[in-house]
Amino acid sequence: MSSLGTALVFWPSAAIMLVTGLYVFRTASMARAGLLLLASLGVEGLIFLALASEFLGVLQLLMMSGEMVIMTFFMVMFMPDPGGLMGMDMTHEKRRSAALAVAVAVGLAVVAVVTDWPAQTLNGEAPDVRQIGFEVMGRSMFSFLFAGITILFAMVGGTLLAKHGGRLGLPAPGGDR
């Protein structure tokens, strides 16, 4: 993609990503918050595509669409006011959180601008799926295996934590067992 094409995709996508990301925490409806997060992270996939990472962009779109839909279900299940119709306030320390978040964002942005980063231009094609595959199955194979085992542990641990009675199989105090 040409640099103009990259800019034409990048700027609108970045604006949508940031605005929808911010509105996740501004909307009262939990279903809407989940869908806004899906939009934010989905549009981030478009930015990946614009930055010559086609494989990761498509992967991001697929993963986030699945994950955020599940997250929306959970939000509707566990929120005291999922529809946002009762006007419940589920925030605390709003001003201090916003001040700290702005300070961190500005600090990181300043570091990004003032640092003398190494710059190289893309000669020819960006690494394609084949090269990423060789990287994963070659030099980074141990880390890849470790990630796989961690996923397995998380699946087993998550299931044990979530089952009736917790990991010890005991009745929850005041619970519904």
**What residues numbered 127-156 form the site for other proteins, per CB under 8 A?**
127, 131-132, 134-136, 139-140, 143-144, 147, 150-151, 154-155
* Binds other proteins by CB under 8 A, chosen from 112, 142, 149, 168: 112
* Under rule CB under 8 A, residue 61 binds other proteins: no
* Binds other proteins by CB under 8 A, chosen from 21, 28, 58, 84: 21
What are the tokens at 165?
A: 């009675």
Helix (H, G, I), strand (E, B) or coil at 81: coil
What are the tokens at 150?
A: 């961690």
Angstrom distance (rounded) from CA 144 to CA 134 = 12
Show Cβ contacts of residue 140 under 8 Å, excluding neighbours closer than 6 positions: none
Helix (H, G, I), strand (E, B) or coil at 98: helix
* Under rule CB under 8 A, residue 158 binds other proteins: yes
Q: How far is the CB of 158 from other proteins (least distance, A)?
A: 4
Judged by CB under 8 A, the chain residues 38 through 57 that form the site for other proteins are 40-41, 44, 47-48, 51-53, 55-56
Angstrom distance (rounded) from CA 170 to CA 82 = 30
* Under rule CB under 8 A, residue 87 binds other proteins: no
